[in-house]
Amino acid sequence: MLLNDKVAVITGAASARGLGFATARLFAEQGARVAILDLDADAAAAAAAQLGDQHLGLAADVTNEHQVQQAIAEVINRYGRIDVLVNNAGITQPLKLMEIAQNNYDAVLDVSLRGTLLASQAVIPTMRAQGSGSIVCISSVSAQRGGGIFGGPHYSAAKAGVLGLAKAMARELGPDNIRVNAITPGLIQTDITAGKLTDEMRRNILAGIPLNRLGDALDVARAALFLGSDLSSYSTGITLDVNGGMLIH
């Protein structure tokens, strides 16, 4: 097993069909004890309980520094260490440039970008003290191609910000043996995309995907396992595309 004796924190992992929960499940199967952080305490606890009783579900809004610090303190109190952080929480809004109001900008930037900063800041002292750690940041193909399918420009900007932040953290934390990497998923079938894809849209999208299928949450979870585990021991600051070939260039 790739994560024996490891402790992993995954933000935004209570959504049953989401990338975060698929990652939590795969990490648990690989021997990790997993802390699921999400907005709703009951949903987070229920998701953790599905993985078994050694896992933890906690309420934390990743945009709220106090809540994030509290939740991470609880994880350390329970398990004594944190080996992997997956910054997965994110929201999107299908707006055009001129439709983006300040509250849209704040909401989308705050969850993906501020959330990644705050959760990383919360675990870094522990990882530094351990002399090891892996932080995995979920960005998006939308950051690379200037627009996904459902996200507006503010979403692209937030996810591009995540890429820059991840690389900067990788440089600064390398000497502490803390690796930081990013994943750029393409179109993955989760609640973020549910009900929004017409048959025509699906046909058009598939025409641009060499592997000729949309992604599954497990496709991204496997990439997170690679980056979270020692399989990627000499990789830091990388961007791992998980998009079926949508962005070959």
* 209 neighbors 244 (Cβ within 8 angstroms): yes
Q: How far is the CB of 55 from ligand NAD (least distance, A)?
A: 16
What Rg do the C-alpha atoms of the chain give, in angstroms?
Answer: 17
Q: How far is the CB of 224 from ligand NAD (least distance, A)?
A: 10
Q: How far is the CB of 105 from ligand NAD (least distance, A)?
A: 15
Q: Which of 79, 105, 155, 234 is catalytic?
A: 155
Comparing CB distances to ligand NAD, the nearer of 20 and 161 is 20
**Active-site residue flag, 105:** no
User: Which two structure tokens, joined as six digits, stand for 194?
Assistant: 């549910």
Please choose, from the candidates 226, 216, 215, 105, the residue with its C-alpha nearest in 3D space to the C-alpha of residue 154.
105
* 211 neighbors 118 (Cβ within 8 angstroms): no
The residue with its CB nearest to ligand NAD is 90
Comparing CB distances to ligand NAD, the nearer of 6 and 154 is 154
Q: How far is the CB of 183 from ligand NAD (least distance, A)?
A: 8
Comparing CB distances to ligand NAD, the nearer of 176 and 205 is 205
Strands (E), the chain: 7-11, 33-38, 56-59, 84-87, 133-138, 178-185, 239-242
Comparing CB distances to ligand NAD, the nearer of 4 and 103 is 103
CB-count exposure of residue 30 (10 Å: 0-12, 13-18, 19+): middle
Site for ligand NAD, rule CB under 6 A: 11-12, 14-15, 17-20, 38-39, 61-63, 88-92, 111-112, 138, 140, 185, 187-188, 190-193
Backbone angles phi, psi at 183, to 5 degrees: -115, 135
Question: Which active-site residues does the annotation give?
Answer: 155
